[in-house]
Amino acid sequence: MRHFLNPGSMPPRKQKDQRFIFELDTSCFKEQHFQFVVKMFRACCRLRYYLRLRCTTCNIIILLVLLSGSQVWIWCRRQQVNPETTDIDEFPMDHVKHGRERMAEHIAGLSAYSYQMRPVNCGQVFKGDKEEIKRSSKIGTNSKYYRKYFLQEFKSCKVIRESSKYIFNVSEEEKQFPIAFSILLYKDFFQVERLLRAIYRPSNIYCLHIDAKSSKSLHDNIRRLAACFDNVFIASKLEDVIYSGFSRLQADLNCMSDLLKTNISWKYFINLPGQTYPLRTNLELVKILKIYNGSNDIEGITGARMLTGRFKYVYKIADVKGKKTLENTYKKKLPPPHNISIVKGSAYGVFSRNFVKFVISDQRVQDFVKWLEDINSPDEYIWATLHHTKLNQHLNTPGGYKGDPDKKPWLATYAIWKGLAPCSGIWVRSICVFGVGDIPHLIQKKQLFVNKFYFNLQPVALNCMEEWFGGTPCYFEQLSSAKDMKLDDNSR
């Protein structure tokens, strides 16, 4: 756990009678809520825990330590927080027993939602303030600490539903226009959870595909999360996803097939990676998709940018130093079946229900899918080829586009490819992983989603996106235990 005090001013940490310590970030509190904070401390002290409060708003640090029995030592001092201090301890949460467990989960959750190591003014970031962006870009996150406490807290579905700002009340318009989503993920449970929380509505349906080779802890935690909601499920078949390989496309097809079998009559399907984040609310999506009126939103690229070498040769899976990868055999590939002309596009898009039915049930599409099995990045060719009927009129694709693929706007996802625009984060496989400096122009984009973010790369970027999108949740105020405590707004 990160210290913000001079270690010399701290009480001994290795005493025999020492209990557990939890750090609470109160950046969502106002000073007049101090009485409420004290009540939270007292509740925890009754359970014989040590607590440390970090108040990033008022720069007050309060340390309450339960030394023995009912004795409480209170240490309070006003000082400037030093975010560069990096003394880190791990605490044995697995030792929490019996009646203490519920409070431990709550308190761990409070720490888990404390993303920022010091105050950040996202409002200034949105305005493009260079000094605030520079300062915020240097703020990191203790990912090991974050994983430990966040995953501990998510053992309780009740805590998720009560405390995590999932939206359960939706408009009648949203109820009448359910949307199906798939999320393809292979790491970072907590980032995926933030994405799900942002797009979740009880009227929609969600298919989560976990890479078969991902860690057992990721599988367990995603399944635990999905079990908390009636309309979130794990794909019936999980693929061992290989970068640029057919298994990536098969994962999408698995979710498509599963979603068609549900009893929710969803209108559109949107496939997402785990590192994306929405730019539009669910209600905005509904209004936009109604305007689409059954049309798909799929990127189309022809000409020199098609990367024809990806589908003119046969590719095979090879084992390179114990890692499966795609390898070009340079063996010429036969033309696609049914006189289909290839169009390139993104792996992600917005698909009408009729389009999804067409993909799953039309025999010509199944033959084409079979042909795609040994090319490079088939997920970047299938949707665009089927959708752009100017080149494939004979397919009569539902919701297809008859115009020039290269002149059609594509609004499903915004991403930056290397060489086309600057990136304040880092480049990964020629795609920008956005940083804080990208936020001012991201929030101006017309697209539905933005791809991509890494939670542990300039985490303030994702935090500010969350604040802009719907407001960062004040975790304290959502806890059932907190709701029973009355705040005295006049206290100082």
Q: What distance in Å separates the CA atoms of residue 492 and residue 490, rounded to the nearest whole number?
A: 7
Which DSSP symbol is given to 367? H
Residues 6+ away with beta carbon under 8 Å from 152: 93, 104, 105, 108, 112
Q: Dump strand ranges (E) for 377-451.
A: 413-414, 426-428, 431-433, 449-451
How many angstroms separate the CA atoms of 187 and 95, rounded? Answer: 27
Q: Which residue has the tokens 């698995």?
A: 254
**Beta carbons of 345 and 384 less than 8 angstroms apart:** yes
d(CA 155, CA 225): 8
Report the sign of the C-alpha dihedral through residues 114, 118, 122, 123, in that order.
Answer: positive
Contacts of residue 86, defined as CB under 8 A and 6 or more positions apart, other chains included, come to: 2
380 counts as catalytic? yes
The long-range contacts involving 422-426, CB below 8 angstroms and separated by at least 24 positions, are 424/133, 424/137, 424/458, 425/454, 425/457, 425/458, 425/461, 426/457
Distance, in Å, from the CA atom of 103 to the CA atom of 356, rounded to the nearest integer, reads 46
Helix or strand run (H / E) with residue 21: strand 20-25
Which sign does the torsion angle of CA 108, 110, 116, 118 carry? negative
Contact 232, 196 (CB under 8 A): yes
Q: How far apart are CA 207 and CA 195, in angstroms?
A: 13
Q: Which of the following is catalytic: 105, 380, 466, 467?
A: 380
- Per DSSP bridges, beta strands 449-451 and 276-278 are antiparallel
Quote the CA–CA distance of 313 and 327 in Å, as a whole number.
10
Please tell me the distance from the alpha carbon of residue 282 to that of residue 208, in angstroms, as a whole number: 18
Q: How far apart are the first and last CA of the chain?
A: 29
Check residue 138 and report its DSSP letter. Answer: T
Residue positions annotated with a catalytic role: 380
